[in-house]
Structure 1
């Protein structure tokens, strides 16, 4: 677990603090911060302590994003997460969760609407997997059939076969399986926000990587607001939409996207904290969604062949992409596929390669492009919806741009 606190903790965690950057604030304002979290001038001072555990912290966790709290022991991570969940009460300040003043709500009721995942899963050993997952819905007075259906739905969501796992006890599960059940339990009542305190810290590196990938896949589908505590910089870079790097005394040294932190560390403390190897980390942790995607003409199976030929002729590529009714990529189609065709294009063309997810890293995308025969690969977001295409040239240009920005930053630092 992370920071030790002067006060006892019951199950864990911490939340962040940081001056809100303009883009985070603007995005949240546009969404009304529906599922977001805000800490406004929050201070926690324990009796007999000369220095506050959390000192006048203000930050916004934008709705639908993963914000990672990263910092050394004593930087206030655990204290701040407990403040969000009201496991402890602030000395002063205001906390907003999903648009509601958390300090004005019943603490028990608040916790039932915030998912909570801790290290070692925290499952009740005497309860089955199904009972563990259904605990909060049961407290919310859901009927048995609805709870059973939700348990099975969530087990499938975290890649555990309901028929195999619903009747098992935690002692019969591996560490990775227990953590998956812990995530399912946190999602049981479909909370708008989740708190995760070093949830993958107690498993082996391979299992940890699989759990990280599973969390990103779930987040792509569900879009929860997540505060995630870790001490691992690589985990933070992989998972975080934004990272709050904390210093002693709950000072927010930098609150930005992983790419911004790697390219533009705010100060010497941040630069030392993230360590070297920024160029390789940019490739490993920058996401496909961060680079400009190529757009090609689009078509639907019911579109007229003549209209599709015109779109291809007017576009910058010699082909179009055919999308289904849910805007998922299906096929590439070239003008020669339409020779002599009148009416709808139907099933003409050739299947696309397996799409690359927008949340994939540039390194993963590069590996995919090298291993397949297609030069152009579609990129998809949540629910497989088409967002654009990527090529080796796309990635080369993005990496070249990142390297140039890194060189420019270094030249600026040398000049000062």
Structure 2
């Protein structure tokens, strides 16, 4: 199957980001939790996870395998990055998942079903596929590219148009402006957005992304990485992402599988664990220098405790808000709208002499940072605002807490202590 042919998705779209339900053992290829599968298999399957179990691929005429006995569990809703140098088997491993390449041996489970027991087209209905340079059909408009698979599945024109417009909005491309354009009329970043929209056409539970941003300029690449993380907060897909770029892997991955030149996984852990405790000298050299700065650059706001401050709504009485602030021994509260999104700060100075509802009194908040943002991004946000705090939001902009300079200082102190502890352990092991 050529790269430019999109995977065939399920028979109809769903807009819910809720994880998939458990596999039905009556379905062809379904895995019964009692069949002796590896620990955690059933739990992963319930959330649309992916498993590779002792998977090997040998191409004819090659002395060494392209993929060597790889075992890997990707939990539903997480981004796992396959990271390694050229020739380490990253892309081959990915293509084994949707059977663009057939394994020589081993077992592959997708959403609780034996992938090798399924018709390849049935398998690909569960998996979106995004490649470098988007792989769009040049003679088709953006709308036709995005709606191609739903059309193949026999959807009506109105349904296809509604889905196309929904997805273009999702990837920040105004439908009225972009629906009728051709790929040649788009920038590289816009083409990649269309590629992502096409992969999401029927809301598959899993997505494979093969160096999708590798050909883009650094600024566009960083923007699309941020957009992918924001989309992931909203949609909760199971994503396997291939890259050879260490910084990209550390930024995007919930977990990272580092492959060596022998096509073996030498470490599989969170970015923070990999930076603090590289498995061996190969991993340490592959990561390069500046691990301390990488910890700040790629540790996430979600990994640190957030400060909780008094909360208020525009309709709250000023005296009650002041009492809440005083009780918390604070100097301010955060005002949330009806959807629990941060609107503004209100300080004790703003409340002086105010009676009745607080209304629109207070100071507009800085642009919130998201739980998936890095500590470096949090620091940059704090430097740019007049206050000493920045609101943190999760999916749909819902308020989660507040990050302060003190929050970051504590996080850095903890990282330094963990680094010192690892060095002491290394010295003890060498002695």
TM range (shorter): 0.7 to 0.9
2:174 alignment counterpart: 161
Matched, 1:201 2:193: no
Matched, 1:58 2:71: yes
* Separation of aligned partners in 1, 2:41 and 2:320: 40
2:275/2:291 contact within 8 Å kept: yes
The range that moved more, 124-133 or 29-38, is: 29-38
2:264 to 251, 268, 274: 251
1:112/1:136 contact within 8 Å kept: no
The 5-angstrom pairing of residues 110-129 of structure 1 reads 110-129=123-142
1:187 to 200, 206, 212: 200
1:177 alignment counterpart: 190
* Separation of aligned partners in 1, 2:204 and 2:375: 31
The C-alpha deviation readout for 1:182-209, integer Å capped at 9, x for no partner, is 1111111111111011111122222222
Q: Which runs of 5+ in 2 are unaligned?
A: 5-37
CA 1:234 to 1:26, structure 2 compared with 1: closer, same or farther past 3 Å? farther
2:312/2:333 contact within 8 Å kept: yes
- For the residue of structure 2 that corresponds to 1:11, the secondary structure is coil
1:305/1:341 contact within 8 Å kept: yes
CA 1:98 to 1:343, structure 2 compared with 1: closer, same or farther past 3 Å? farther
Matched, 1:135 2:148: yes
The 5-angstrom pairing of residues 373-412 of structure 1 reads 373-412=386-425
Matched, 1:299 2:307: no
* Separation of aligned partners in 2, 1:202 and 1:339: 56
* Separation of aligned partners in 1, 2:92 and 2:142: 29
CA 1:339 to 1:277, structure 2 compared with 1: closer, same or farther past 3 Å? closer
Matched, 1:45 2:58: yes
Count of residues in correspondence between the two structures:
396
2:250 alignment counterpart: 237
Q: Offset of 1:49 from its aligned partner?
A: 4.1
CA 1:29 to 1:369, structure 2 compared with 1: closer, same or farther past 3 Å? farther
The C-alpha deviation readout for 1:225-248, integer Å capped at 9, x for no partner, is 111101111111111111100113
1:277 to 281, 284, 290: 290
2:18 alignment counterpart: none
- For the residue of structure 1 that corresponds to 2:273, the secondary structure is helix
Matched, 1:11 2:24: no
CA 1:369 to 1:115, structure 2 compared with 1: closer, same or farther past 3 Å? same
Q: TM-score, normalised by structure 2?
A: 0.84
Q: TM-score, normalised by structure 1?
A: 0.87
* Separation of aligned partners in 1, 2:73 and 2:327: 44
Q: Please, what is the CA RMSD of the aligned residues? A: 2.6
The C-alpha deviation readout for 1:282-330, integer Å capped at 9, x for no partner, is 1222221121111123334455666545543442533332322222112
* Separation of aligned partners in 1, 2:250 and 2:105: 32
The range that moved more, 345-354 or 227-236, is: 345-354
2:83/2:246 contact within 8 Å kept: yes
Matched, 1:149 2:162: yes
* Separation of aligned partners in 2, 1:33 and 1:211: 29
Q: Offset of 1:384 from its aligned partner?
A: 0.4
* Separation of aligned partners in 1, 2:106 and 2:240: 19
The 5-angstrom pairing of residues 214-363 of structure 1 reads 214-303=227-316, 308-334=321-347, 346-363=359-376
* Separation of aligned partners in 2, 1:365 and 1:27: 35
1:28/1:62 contact within 8 Å kept: no
* Separation of aligned partners in 2, 1:42 and 1:314: 59
The range that moved more, 382-391 or 291-300, is: 291-300
* Separation of aligned partners in 2, 1:305 and 1:100: 57
1:17 alignment counterpart: none
CA 1:171 to 1:331, structure 2 compared with 1: closer, same or farther past 3 Å? closer
The range that moved more, 388-397 or 48-57, is: 48-57
* Separation of aligned partners in 1, 2:251 and 2:223: 12
* Separation of aligned partners in 2, 1:168 and 1:339: 56
Matched, 1:98 2:90: no
* Separation of aligned partners in 1, 2:39 and 2:234: 23
* Separation of aligned partners in 1, 2:391 and 2:252: 23
The C-alpha deviation readout for 1:202-226, integer Å capped at 9, x for no partner, is 2222222222222222222222111
Q: Offset of 1:408 from its aligned partner?
A: 2.5
